C-alpha cells in the first residue's frame, strides 16, 4: 500500500475503488459499498457507536468532578499555606497534574477512542502520546519523592526536608525526557498530499510503528515509570512505618521522668508552704517566685508531653492516608499499563476489535479514576486532622483542690500557658497566707 501511495506521480481526479476500500476499512471501519464515505468528516467508531452516549456521560462525570475537586485541593493548600510542608507541596504538585489530566488529556483521549479516523492533524499525531503520558509519570515520580521525604523525616526529624518545589520541577522535567523518543515511532500521512486527490484533502493517517525496538522501549517504560517506582515507594513506606513506633518511646520516658520530678517538687512545695504558714504573714518573694516556677514547669511538661503524643498520632494518620492514596492510584493504573505491554504482542483484527475497544475504554476510565479518589481521601484526611485537633485542644487541668476548668492549648502558646498558671498560683497563695 505504501509503495502505491508514494509512487503516484500524476494527480488523480477520481480515487480508485480499491484505495477507497482500504481507506474505508482502515479509517472508518465501515462495510465496503459503492457509496463513498466523506472521510474529511469525523467518523464514529462503529464498535462503540451504540454505547457512545454512556461512555461520554461516564467520562464527563470524571472530568467535571476531577477538575472541581482538585481545584478545591489546590485552593485549600494555598489558602492555609500548607505548601510549606513538603508533604502538602507534593500533594499540590499532584493536584496540578490531575487537573491537567482532566482538562486536556482525558477529552483528547475520549475523542480518539470514539472517532475512527484521524482528525487532529500532524502536530497532535506526534505529541498526543507525549501529552497523555507526561501527567501520569509526574504523579508516579511525585509519590516517589513524597515517600522518600517521609522516610527520611521519620528516621531523623532533625534532618532538612527535601526541597519540594525543586523536586516537583524535577518530576516534570524527568517525565518530559522519558517521552521524548515517542515521535521517533509515530508517522503521519496526509493522503490528500500523497495522492494529489481533492476527495482526500484533509484525510490523514496517524500510524504507530510497532518495531522491535519500540516494543523494548515500551517494556522499559513500564519498568521505569510503574514497576520500579512502586517498588521504591513500598520500601520507603514500610521503612517509615517501622520508624513511627520508636518516636512514642521518648514521650513515655519523658512523662515518667517529669512525673517523678513533679512529685519531688510537689513535696518540696508543700514543705515550703508549711514554713510560710508558720511565718504567719512574713512574705518571702523568693518563695512566691519558686511556687510560680513549679506550676509553670509542670504546665510546660504536660503541654510538651501532649504535643509529643499528638505528633505520633498525626504521623500515623498521615501515613495511613498517603498509603491509601498511592495504593488506589497503583491499582487503578495497573490494567492500562499491562494492556499497553500486552498490546505489543497482540494483533488487533476486525473480529476482536469490538472486545478490544470495550476493554481499552474501560481501562482508560479506570486509569483516570484516581483524579477523583485522591481529593476525596485528602478531604477525609483534613477533616480527621481537624476533628482530632479540636478534641485534643480541650483538656482538664486541676490545681490544688480547685474546680477543674477547660484550658485550650495551642501549639507554641507557652506564654498563654504561663499566664494561666501564674493567675492560678496568685489566687491560691492568699488562702495559704491567711490561714
pLDDT-derived band at 292 (thresholds 50, 70, 90) equals low
Rounded Cα gap, residues 407 and 429, in angstroms: 21
26, 39, 220, 248, 315 from 116: Cα distances, Å: 9, 10, 29, 60, 50
Whole-angstrom distance, CA of residue 6 vs CA of residue 72: 53
Tell me the C-alpha distance between 56 and 110, whole Å. 8
Is residue 326 within 8 Å of 233, Cβ to Cβ?
yes
- If one counts every other C-beta atom within 10 angstroms of the C-beta of residue 93, the result is 24
Is residue 433 scored above 90 in pLDDT? no
Looking at residues 225-229, what average pLDDT do you find?
96
Q: How confident is the model at residue 215 (pLDDT cuts 50, 70, 90)?
A: confident
In 3D space, the residue among 146, 137, 135 whose CA is nearest the CA of residue 88 turns out to be 146
The CATH topology of domain 2-32+44-248+305-392 is Rhopdopsin 7-helix transmembrane proteins (1.20.1070)
Burial label, 229 (beta-carbon count in 10 A; 0-12, 13-18, 19+): buried
Nearest Cα to Cα of residue 291 among 306, 274, 278: 274
Mean pLDDT over the full length of the chain: 75
pLDDT in tens, 362-411: 999 999 999 999 999 999 999 988 887 777 665 544 444 444 444 444 44
Task: Please give the average per-residue pLDDT across 50-69, as a whole number.
Answer: 96
* Residues written for the chain: 435
Q: Choose between 52 and 209: higher pLDDT.
A: 52
Quick count: other Cβ atoms within 10 Å of Cβ 39?
Answer: 24
CA distance 94 to 189: 36
pLDDT at 430 over 90: no
Three-state DSSP class for residue 205:
strand
What integer is the mean pLDDT of 235-251?
A: 76
Set of cell numbers at residue 322: 498517603
Res. 351 pLDDT band, cuts 50 70 90: low
Which of 19-28, 214-223, 297-306: highest mean pLDDT?
A: 214-223
- In this prediction the pTM is 0.73
For the chain, give every domain's residue range: 2-32+44-248+305-392
Q: What is the mean pLDDT of residues 305-327?
A: 79
Question: How much is the average pLDDT of 151-177?
Answer: 93
Amino acid at each position: 500500500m505504501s509503495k502505491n501511495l508514494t509512487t503516484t506521480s500524476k494527480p488523480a481526479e477520481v480515487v480508485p475503488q480499491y484505495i477507497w476500500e482500504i481507506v474505508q476499512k482502515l479509517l472508518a471501519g465501515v462495510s465496503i459499498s459503492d457509496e463513498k464515505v466523506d472521510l474529511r468528516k469525523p467518523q464514529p467508531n462503529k464498535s462503540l457507536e451504540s454505547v457512545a452516549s454512556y461512555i461520554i456521560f461516564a467520562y464527563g462525570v470524571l472530568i467535571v468532578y476531577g477538575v472541581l475537586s482538585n481545584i478545591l485541593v489546590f485552593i485549600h493548600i494555598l489558602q492555609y499555606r500548607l505548601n510549606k510542608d513538603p508533604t502538602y507541596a507534593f500533594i499540590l504538585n499532584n493536584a496540578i497534574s490531575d487537573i491537567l489530566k482532566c482538562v486536556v488529556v482525558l477529552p483528547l483521549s475520549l475523542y480518539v477512542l470514539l472517532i475512527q479516523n484521524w482528525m487532529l492533524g500532524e502536530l497532535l499525531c506526534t505529541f498526543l502520546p507525549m501529552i497523555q503520558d507526561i501527567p501520569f509519570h509526574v504523579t508516579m515520580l511525585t509519590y516517589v519523592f513524597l515517600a522518600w521525604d517521609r522516610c527520611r523525616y521519620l528516621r531523623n526529624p532533625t534532618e532538612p526536608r527535601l526541597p519540594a518545589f525543586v523536586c516537583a520541577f524535577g518530576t516534570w522535567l524527568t517525565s518530559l525526557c522519558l517521552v521524548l523518543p515517542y515521535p521517533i515511532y509515530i508517522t503521519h500521512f496526509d493522503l490528500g498530499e500523497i495522492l494529489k486527490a481533492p476527495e482526500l484533502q484533509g484525510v490523514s493517517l496517524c500510524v504507530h510503528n510497532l518495531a522491535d525496538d519500540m516494543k523494548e522501549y515500551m517494556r522499559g517504560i513500564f519498568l521505569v515509570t510503574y514497576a520500579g517506582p512502586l517498588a521504591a515507594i513500598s520500601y520507603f513506606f514500610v521503612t517509615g512505618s517501622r520508624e513511627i513506633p520508636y518516636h512514642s518511646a521518648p514521650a513515655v520516658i519523658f512523662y515518667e521522668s517529669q512525673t517523678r520530678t513533679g512529685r519531688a517538687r510537689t513535696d518540696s512545695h508543700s514543705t515550703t508552704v508549711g514554713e510560710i504558714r508558720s511565718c504567719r504573714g512574713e512574705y518571702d518573694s523568693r518563695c512566691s517566685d519558686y511556687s510560680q516556677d513549679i506550676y509553670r514547669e509542670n504546665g510546660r511538661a504536660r503541654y510538651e508531653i501532649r504535643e509529643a503524643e499528638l505528633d505520633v498520632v498525626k504521623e500515623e494518620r498521615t501515613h495511613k492516608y498517603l498509603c491509601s492514596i498511592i495504593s488506589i492510584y497503583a491499582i487503578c493504573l495497573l490494567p492500562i499499563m499491562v494492556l499497553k505491554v500486552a498490546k505489543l504482542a497482540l494483533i488487533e483484527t476486525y473480529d476482536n476489535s469490538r472486545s478490544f475497544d470495550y476493554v481499552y475504554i474501560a481501562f482508560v476510565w479506570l486509569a483516570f479514576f484516581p483524579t477523583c479518589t485522591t481529593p476525596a481521601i485528602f478531604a477525609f484526611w483534613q477533616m480527621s486532622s481537624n476533628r482530632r485537633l479540636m478534641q485534643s485542644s480541650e483538656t482538664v487541668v486541676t490545681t490544688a483542690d480547685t474546680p477543674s476548668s477547660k484550658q485550650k492549648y495551642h501549639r507554641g502558646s507557652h506564654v498563654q500557658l504561663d499566664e494561666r498558671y501564674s493567675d492560678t498560683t496568685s489566687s491560691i497563695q492568699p488562702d495559704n497566707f491567711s490561714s
